[in-house]
Structure 1
């Protein structure tokens, strides 16, 4: 997978299309909750498969001492190919390059084991975000 930081409007629209497909169309997240005020200032990443098609996306923000991983998604037909793990590792590299030593994310509970496998530990009970059960997780980088 080729992962890059979004630099052009075209790349940003590709990332938003992946997010729209996964979160709004597949998971039924309301559009006004998916695209929010943080999208203007966040760092966005886009992942392309071997054919050069956009298949994964995420955004990264810095909140307090954490790099906060958000909107992590892979198109349904591309899941199971380690694209999500590659995206997480790319975001963690950016966080470390910016001098932060911790990353944080809110994981959908069905993906909690995936993030634990990548070294994240759960720090909260279950809560709802956009009507979907989540837990907060952190990792020391």
Structure 2
């Protein structure tokens, strides 16, 4: 059973960053200077554990009043298709509601857009490039949006 937590200390933050590094920098070739940015200081970070192993990560930050931006959603390659991404997104959405946010926005890699659509996100842009990877912007209203 995967345990998704809001990062509470430096060890958990390091675990979340290690997952991000494995997925975005090592696997996808994103420049490390793009992966870690000024938003990391103020964002709410999440880490998914299977026992003691960090297997997923995400972050949430206020983007505009009442709107949060979901970023850096990552699951280790060896652990995909196990529901970890869905568990991460549920935790992010729960935290967003607790923060009184009404809408979430995210930039999905195009290959992952169907995953987010299955969670109730709607595409709101044409394809654009971010960090050398094709993305689409997606939105979800949080009020009465979760079953």
With normalisation by structure 2, the TM-score equals 0.93
Cross-structure match for 2:136: 135
* Secondary structure in 1 matching 2:52: coil
- Give distance in 2, aligned partners of 1:83 and 1:4: 12
CA-based RMSD of the aligned residues comes to 0.7
* Secondary structure in 2 matching 1:81: coil
Q: How many residues align?
A: 140
- Give distance in 2, aligned partners of 1:100 and 1:54: 27
Cross-structure match for 2:58: 58
Cross-structure match for 1:47: 48
Unpaired runs of 5+ residues, structure 1, are: none
Per the TM alignment, residue 23 of structure 1 is displaced from its structure 2 partner at its CA by 0.1
Cross-structure match for 2:91: 90
- Give distance in 1, aligned partners of 2:124 and 2:107: 10
Cross-structure match for 1:106: 107
- Give distance in 2, aligned partners of 1:97 and 1:131: 34
Per the TM alignment, residue 52 of structure 1 is displaced from its structure 2 partner at its CA by 2.4
Cross-structure match for 2:145: none
With normalisation by structure 1, the TM-score equals 0.97
- Give distance in 2, aligned partners of 1:101 and 1:38: 20
Cross-structure match for 1:27: 28
